[in-house]
Structure 1
Amino acid sequence: MGEVAPGALGSWDPTHTIKVSLDTVVKLLQYPNPDFPVNEEANTLFLSNNSAFRERAQDWAVKYAGAPAAETHSASYGGYNRKLIDPYIDAGYDKDAVVEAFKYCGIDRNNGQDYTLEEAYQGDILARLSDAE
């Protein structure tokens, strides 16, 4: 585990530089080989549900590598950061209803960036969601 696929670097000799080795690793990342996966779980998700794979990869890139949040996330969440909306979805509310409640309560989109909602706003959102049911 954690090794480059067998034979990916070919037979090494002293003329190979670190640049050649890194170029090979970059190519493996750009063009993954499903026959020799380093991460079995990621490979299975990649092959069976590519959109979920891409979403998880984007989430991890944001979380662990500081990548910017994808536009598709904020667009499908009414311009709000997904982390603001998801707790309400996890509680059983419909995503569109949550987005509507955020808009109704005047919650700032903060350019799609995550932030902590004040408790008063959380109460207003829950009240709006309860009224909508």
Structure 2
Amino acid sequence: MASSRDRRVAKELKDIQADSSNSGVTADLQDGADLRNLVATITGPPDTPYAGGTFRVKITIPDDYPFKPPAAVFLTKMWHPNISSQTGAICLDTLSTGWSPVQTIKTVLLSLRMLLEFPNPKDPQDAEVAKMMLEHPEDYAQKAQAWAVKYAGAPRHELDLSKYKKEVTEEQPKTMAERCKGYHPNLVNRFINMGFSVEAVVDAFHVVGIPRNGGHDYILDEAYIGDITAELLGDDLQ
């Protein structure tokens, strides 16, 4: 008889496959493997250096899933500050301290896709890539696209480097506290580390009705975490 974990994973895979044309992510069993070992694909988001590429991710499901997060590593080489250019290791809060049993494999994959759209060089997995992104953003974008073309089969397209640079420089004058609009930065950081922008997280907090608690940090209920994540992912897919 299948375990509760295997039944849940099988159901999640069906949900992912049913929505793959809309979500930009897929997942299936490795050849000859059981429900512990999956291979996922993520389509590079438009208007990014990764646009149109197909990135493969190895997903390993632990015995105590969903109470412990899946393990994930990129099989496709890529140039990204939160993904090791050597090993494919990923720096993403969802895969560690930010995990909650209400999240799913699809949540992880959509968070990874969001990470491609909103890299976070201030919390890097690959210091060399992060340094290039912070100091020479145009060079970073060009190299990231070159790797996507070479390793992920992305079509080469003209990057809007002036727009990309403007986005990086415009954010610098505002402090984190100002951008959080009264919420403690630690609350916001938990979702930034899932790959979402500060502004998107704060907007989701407003929609869900998260209390500011006088600007003090506190632990969010799991129901809130699920609602916030759903709001963020829903906005991304619309």
What interval of TM-score do these two structures reach, taking the shorter chain for normalisation?
0.3 to 0.5
> How does the TM-score come out when normalised to structure 2?
0.27
Q: Which of the two has greater strand per residue?
A: 2
> How does the TM-score come out when normalised to structure 1?
0.45
